[in-house]
Structure 1
Amino acid sequence: MSATRLLVLGVVRMYGRAHGYQVRRELLSWSADKWANVQPGSIYHALKKMTTEDLLEQIDVEPGDGGPDRVAYRLTDVGEQEYQLLLSKALSDPELNHPHLSAAISLMTTLPRARVVNLLRHRLVHLEAERRQATLMIEELKASMELGTPEHVGELYRLWGGISEASFDWLQGLIARLEAGEYVMADEQGGAFGEPPADPAE
């Protein structure tokens, strides 16, 4: 799974219709080039590839400002299904970490509140298991010191445990904030960030 793929679908969906320059400009405004390594070439490649996969369709060609023509795209029904699938997986699958989770958090408001909470709770269960595993490994390391295991190896387990602990605390906090009503979500009034316009021509 590609974080770029999810982000490009999300931005085209948000605009209703968008060309590559709009997608690039929007993602740069999110600093996605830094936290998801989204490069201009990968954006245009994703647009073309997903068009061949019938996830996007070309709907217009606009004259470029002194450069090549700009092709406008919009999501197909299949593209909408792919977007929903990729976003749900990135929120819930513990195997997908940064930048996938970062992309999913950027777009989470395009899903209903209860669905996002449920997806994040699934991830939380796995993070709890990671925390327990890290604790056990540190305890096992202490016992193995007598057998000649280098003591500094324990820093690897402490690092893993620290990352797991911090991730668990952050995720618990995010779930609590969502349950308390923070952020406008797709199933609520107020215009959730990332939701497409009612009229794609807007």
Structure 2
Amino acid sequence: MSATRLLVLGVVRMHGSAHGYQVRRELLTWSADKWANVQPGSIYHALKKMTAEKLLEQVETESGTGPDRTAYRLTEDGETEFQLLLAKYLSQSGEPDSSQDAYRLGAALTFLPALPRARAISLLRQRATQMEAQRATVAGVLEHGTDWGQPAHVSELYRLWGAQVGVTVEWARDLIARLEAGEYVMADDPGQSFGQRPA
């Protein structure tokens, strides 16, 4: 699944209801086209597809000087899907070189404050544990790769992956520590956290 799905659900959720242009404008303001590879056409496609899947529902059509705009809001199933995708993208690490994994993690981090603090920490710990396992796998390949018949220079690819995983593990551990210290307003903290539904 793409990062676009979570981002569109999240923007509609945080506004209570939103039309396609509003979702597009919000995501482009965040530069999601660069860090999550979100394309304007994919936003409108996601709105239509998730409406057909009953994750979103049409709530009104705005009339005015321009074309009619259909507004959308999350259904109960849409809220469930948002929470599932958010948890999945925070906790599950893909391959070390996966751009899709990076896009999904970026989308999940955007809505990190929509989670209770302990839940966010738990999910990030799961990701860090998986990445530690990836780092161990890379280290094993570096140690024994030539035994498997790989050309010697292929080890440079594994060194690169190992470095990428190492940096990401350090970042995840640092974020966990900052969350444990109370940084950021989370869903279960007093006040309005980013990405929360309007009251």
- TM-score per shorter chain, which class? over 0.9
Q: Gaps spanning 5+ residues in structure 1: where?
A: none
What are the Cα deviations for residues 28-69 of structure 1, in whole angstroms up to 9, with x where unaligned? 111100111111111111111111111111010012543x21
| Letter of the 1:71 counterpart | T
Could you tell me how far apart the structure 1 residues matched to 2:17 and 2:90 are? Answer: 25
* Cα RMSD, aligned residues only: 1.5
The equivalences for 1:33-44 within 5 A come to 33-44=33-44
**What one-letter code is carried by the residue in structure 2 that aligns with 1:59?**
V
Secondary structure at the aligned position of 1:188 is classed as: coil
Question: What is the DSSP-based 3-state SS (H/G/I as helix, E as strand, rest coil) of the residue aligned with 1:47?
Answer: helix
Letter in structure 1 aligned against 2:22: Q
Aligned mates of 2:45, 2:150 — CA distance in 1:
48
Which of 129, 135, 141 does residue 139 from structure 2 map onto? 135
Question: Residue type matched to 1:61 in 2?
Answer: T
Name the TM-score, length of structure 2 as normaliser: 0.93
**Aligned partner (choices 69, 93, 102) of residue 98 of structure 1:** 102
Mapped to 1, the partners of 2:151 and 2:75 lie a distance apart of 56
Tell me the residue number matched to 2:79: 80
* SS in structure 2 of the partner of residue 61 of structure 1: strand
How big is each residue's C-alpha offset from its partner over 1:135-188, in whole Å with a ceiling of 9 and x where there is no partner?
1211113x54xx975332110110111111111111111111111111000111
2:171 match = 170
Q: After superposition, give the CA deviation of every residue in 1:49-103 in whole Å (9 maximum; x if it has no partner).
A: 111111111010012543x211011001111111111111111111262100000
The 5-angstrom pairing of residues 5-20 of structure 1 reads: 5-20=5-20
Q: Distance in 2 between matches of 1:111 and 1:69?
A: 34
Match of 1:89 in 2: 88
- Identity rate, percent: 62
Q: How many angstroms apart in 1 are the aligned matches of 2:141 and 2:152? A: 13
2:60 match: 60
Q: Does 1:114 align with 2:118?
A: yes
Give the counterpart letter for 2:79 in structure 1.
E
Structure 2 Cα separation of the partners of residues 52 and 136 of structure 1: 46
- SS of the residue aligned with 1:99? helix
Aligned equivalents of 1:75, 1:105: Cα separation in 2: 20
State the AA in 1 paired with 2:72: Y
Larger Cα Rg: Structure 1 or Structure 2?
1
Aligned to 1:4: 4
Q: 5+ unaligned residues in a row in structure 2: which ranges?
A: 95-99
**2:97 matched residue in structure 1:** none
CA distance in 2, matches of 1:55, 1:64: 27
TM-score (norm 1): 0.91
